[in-house]
């Protein structure tokens, strides 16, 4: 680094995690921090560090994060820098990004045995990865993107027992991927894009928890890798993979992103990829895929981006893609939220972006996809004889087929008339339980939350929370219960928050809360009031925890009942909005049950605890955090009878509670007791069994009854009745609930398209809520399939 005039944006990040029971840094550790301050040229942001600084009780001193502009020469040695760091053996998180560090990564990093997260991206590190890294037994994340690392990936990577994230993008690594990587049971994300890797990949199906794999822009191939069924994102663009895609890809039901563009694939394109239930992004551009597309092909509900450009496809673009096709106009009521690229094929689009049909056929023959025999035609009398025999055989087969078809159809019609039709859509959820779906969303969910503007989970200082609540002023108190108080606050960056204060009467250190904090940090989902962080308040005499503060997002648009049974005219939700809200609640329940391990059940769900944000997105605001029941036990209370993950039929209890919520959503009448539930359940059953639609319509909230499809209403009523079944085993799974609600939304959407001219339609543009991620309500309806949650506390709202 010496001798270079650099303008460096320096991120200083010092995160200490002390040994249990320790109350202050050792003298050598304090010296090390001051030495780092000296080596960095005494930046102003660290000006408060001196010999008498109390790093453990200095408030914001414990975590310092600032940008410093450094002008002139930087002359410290990377080796001496890590020598100094090695005096901090309890360091768990080390972030040294964009510092301009030059040289091999020192083996002395292994002296930091407690390290869990290492990020040394955007430096000038070169050479091979040091063997010493293999001794970091607690390492969970290693990121060294945008450096000059070289050599082959070492086989010892497979010996890191808890490594979950490995990212070495944009380096100069070469050779093949070692087979030991395929046995890493803890690996969730593998990113090695933009290197010089080559050869076939090992069998990655052994990496059971792998969800994200990004190997773009290498020279890998020619065989497509074997992958586990939990994978959610596969990016293999810009490599040398050839032949066809493996058929098993069509059964990767958790796959959200597939990018195999700019390879050498040949053979038939797999239309089933378009209709995978979770697929959002699909790119097969720049290959030699063949096949005929047709308008009646189906697409998955979540699909947003498709690129089939520069292949050898013929036929017509599927109707479900036509609205998003670049360069084509979409109907005003069609789903134009998709982006579809399809240039340089032989599709019948009527524009000049396509090749003529013979081009694709000739290209297919040239690369050996179409057999040579296809180019030879029979000649003369022999051709005529062959043609005549074939025609006669076909005619006979057709006549026989028609006769059989008519006979079977007649018998089927008789059987169909003898039994009532089944309208309820069944979903085979047993094949893919919610726990499996949740595992694959572990990483992608974090990315989505970031895109939604939900801050990362972190530890807050007491000073921050005092400032946010004006020293916990009484006017900011939202309520209190046996656990403590709840306050409304606003962080320094303007983010409104809800702060839950929990008294801890039994002497405990912060270490004893690790299990709970790990659980709470995972309570983050689009349809939950998400956890943002925590804060400990300590006893100055013995350093035990006296108070625990939990910080959650603040939802300020009222609860669901205020927009249903207690809503005023003009504020009540339309039928489409009600279905969308119900789907959101079901997704929150699904996340609670399977999105975290162990799952949280028996959440005592109530319509007054379903909050709506400014975009009318439903969020479950009350779920049972196990720490609350344990706090009750420590105070002499009874606590919960069961741990949250072992409640008998806990998932079915939540389904029943959801049925009660759905009952109020349908009827528009407030339900305040189990007696009212039983009465309305009987009325619901009577309405469903009655002939005609009049009785069903009379059960539905008059505010929406004229603007909803009868088929949609009936589907929602049927799934509601099943949720309220007396026997728990007869209640549907949350996956069944989601599929039926989605079906009801789709039926309503189709019906709306057929009756757009009706003045009674509740779907005028001014009434459609604008979703946080998309401005199209239809996308919200079609995308509802995700999560679950649990916590016996209520986040009140204005």
CATH (one of 1.10.510.10, 3.40.30.10, 1.20.1340.10, 3.40.50.1000) for 558-628+649-753: 1.10.510.10
Q: What is the pLDDT of residues 380-423, one digit of tens each?
A: 444 454 455 555 556 666 566 656 555 655 555 454 444 443 33
**Cβ burial, residue 210 (10 Å; 0-12/13-18/19+):** buried
Spatial distance between the Cα atoms of 576 and 574, rounded to a whole number of angstroms: 5
Tens-digit pLDDT profile for residues 124-181: 899 999 999 999 999 999 999 999 999 999 999 988 999 989 999 999 999 999 999 9
Q: What are phi and psi of 483, to 5 degrees?
A: -85, -30
Identify the CATH homologous superfamily for domain 454-554.
Phosphorylase Kinase; domain 1 (3.30.200.20)
The residue among 496, 552, 491, 546 whose CA lies nearest residue 520 is 552
Q: Are strands 477-481 and 484-490 parallel, antiparallel or unpaired?
A: antiparallel
List Cα–Cα distances, 740 to 315, 717, 744, in angstroms: 33, 10, 6
DSSP H helical ranges for 568-689: 575-594, 626-634, 650-667, 674-689
Q: How far apart are CA 311 and CA 355, in angstroms?
A: 10
Asked if pLDDT for residue 41 goes beyond 80, the answer is no
Cis peptide before 489 (omega within 30 of 0): no
Q: Greatest CA separation found in the chain?
A: 107
CB 229 within 8 A of CB 431: no
Strand, coil or helix: 412: helix
Q: How far is Cα 44 from Cα 42, in angstroms, rounded to an integer?
A: 6
| Cross-strand partners of 480 | 485
Average pLDDT over residues 764-784: 37
pLDDT tens digits along 80-121: 777 777 777 778 888 888 777 788 998 888 888 888 889 989
Nearest to 91, CA basis, from 32, 34, 135, 159: 32
**Domain range list for the chain:** 454-554, 558-628+649-753
Most confidently predicted of 243-257, 364-378, 708-722: 708-722
Q: What is the pTM of this model?
A: 0.47
How far apart are the C-alpha atoms of 438 and 22, rounded to whole Å? 37
Which whole number is the average pLDDT over 255-264?
93
- Establish whether the linkage from the previous residue to 598 is cis, with ω within 30° of 0: yes
Single out the residue of 558, 555, 557, 549 nearest to residue 486, CA to CA: 549
Q: In CATH terms, are 454-554 and 558-628+649-753 the same topology?
A: no
pLDDT tens-digit profile of 695-707? 999 999 999 988 8
Checking if the pLDDT of 379 tops 50, the result is: no
């Amino acid at each position: 680094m010496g001798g270079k005039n650099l303008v460096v944006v320096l991120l200083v990040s010092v995160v200490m995690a002390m040994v249990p029971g320790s109350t202050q840094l050792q003298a050598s550790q304090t010296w090390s921090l001051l030495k780092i301050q000296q080596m960095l040229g005494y930046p102003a942001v660290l000006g408060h560090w001196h010999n008498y600084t109390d790093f453990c009780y200095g408030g914001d001193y414990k975590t310092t994060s600032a940008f410093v502009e450094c002008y002139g020469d930087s002359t410290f040695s990377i080796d001496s820098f890590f020598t100094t760091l090695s005096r901090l053996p309890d360091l768990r998180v080390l972030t040294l990004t964009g510092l301009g560090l030059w040289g091999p990564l020192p083996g002395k990093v292994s002296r930091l045995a407690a390290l869990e997260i290492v990020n040394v991206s955007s430096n000038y590190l070169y050479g091979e990865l040091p063997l010493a890294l293999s001794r970091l037994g607690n390492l969970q994340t290693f990121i060294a993107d945008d450096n000059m690392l070289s050599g082959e990936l070492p086989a010892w990577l497979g010996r890191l027992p808890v490594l979950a994230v490995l990212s070495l993008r944009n380096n100069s690594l070469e050779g093949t991927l070692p087979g030991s990587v395929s046995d890493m049971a803890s690996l969730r994300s593998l990113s090695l894009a933009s290197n010089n890797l080559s050869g076939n990949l090992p069998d990655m199906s052994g990496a059971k928890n792998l969800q994200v794999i990004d190997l773009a822009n290498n020279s890998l191939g020619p065989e497509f890798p074997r992958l586990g069924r939990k994978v959610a994102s596969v990016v293999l663009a810009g490599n040398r993979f050839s032949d066809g895609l493996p058929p098993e890809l069509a059964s990767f039901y958790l796959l959200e992103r597939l990018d195999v563009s700019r390879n050498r694939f040949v053979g038939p394109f797999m239309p089933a990829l378009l209709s995978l239930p979770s697929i959002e992004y699909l790119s097969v551009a720049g290959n030699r895929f063949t096949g005929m597309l047709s308008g009646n092909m189906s697409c998955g509900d979540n699909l947003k981006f498709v690129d089939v450009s520069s292949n050898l496809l013929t036929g017509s673009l599927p109707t479900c893609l036509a609205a998003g096709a670049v360069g084509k106009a979409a109907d005003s009521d069609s789903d134009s939220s998709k982006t579809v690229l399809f240039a340089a094929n032989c599709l019948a689009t009527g524009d000049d972006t396509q090749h003529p049909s013979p081009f694709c056929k000739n290209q297919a023959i040239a690369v050996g996809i179409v057999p040579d025999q296809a180019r030879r035609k029979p000649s003369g009398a022999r051709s005529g004889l062959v043609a005549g025999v074939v025609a006669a055989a076909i005619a006979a087969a057709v006549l026989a087929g028609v006769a059989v078809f008519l006979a079977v159809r007649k018998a089927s019609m008789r059987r169909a008339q003898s039994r009532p039709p089944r309208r309820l859509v069944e979903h085979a959820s047993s094949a893919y339980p919610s726990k499996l779906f949740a595992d694959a969303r572990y990483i992608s969910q974090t990315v989505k939350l970031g895109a939604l503007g939900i801050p990362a989970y972190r530890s807050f200082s007491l000073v921050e929370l005092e400032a946010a609540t004006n020293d916990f002023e009484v006017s900011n108190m939202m309520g209190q219960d046996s656990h403590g108080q709840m306050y409304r606050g606003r962080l320094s960056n303007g983010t409104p928050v809800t702060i839950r204060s929990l008294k801890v009467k039994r002497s405990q250190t912060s270490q004893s809360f690790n299990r709970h904090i790990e659980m709470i940090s995972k309570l983050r989902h689009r349809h939950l009031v998400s956890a943002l962080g925590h804060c400990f308040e300590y006893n100055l005499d013995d350093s035990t925890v006296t108070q625990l503060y939990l910080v959650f997002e603040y939802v300020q648009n009222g609860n669901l009942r205020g927009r249903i049974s207690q809503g005023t005219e003009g504020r009540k939700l339309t039928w489409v909005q009600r279905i969308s809200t119900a789907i959101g609640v079901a997704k929150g329940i699904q996340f609670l049950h399977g999105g975290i391990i162990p799952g949280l059940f028996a959440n005592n769900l109530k319509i007054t605890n379903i909050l709506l944000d400014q975009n009318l997105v439903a969020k479950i605001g009350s779920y049972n955090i196990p720490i609350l029941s344990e706090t009750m036990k420590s105070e002499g209370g009874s606590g919960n009878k069961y741990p949250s993950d072992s409640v008998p039929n806990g998932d079915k209890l939540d389904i029943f509670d959801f049925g009660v919520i759905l009952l109020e959503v349908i009827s528009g009448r407030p339900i305040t007791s189990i007696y009212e539930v039983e009465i309305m359940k009987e009325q619901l059953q009577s309405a469903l069994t009655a002939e005609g639609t009049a009785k069903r319509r009379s059960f539905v909230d008059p505010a929406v009854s004229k603007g909803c499809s009868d088929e949609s209403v009936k589907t929602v009523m049927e799934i509601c009745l099943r949720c309220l079944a007396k026997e728990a085993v007869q209640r549907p799974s949350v996956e069944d609930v989601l599929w039926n609600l989605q079906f009801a939304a789709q039926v309503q959407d189709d019906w709306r398209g057929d009756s757009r001219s009706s003045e009674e339609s509740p779907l005028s543009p001014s009434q459609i809520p604008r979703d946080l991620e998309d401005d199209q309500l239809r996308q919200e309806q079609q995308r509802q399939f995700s999560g679950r949650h649990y916590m016996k506390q209520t986040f009140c709202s204005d």
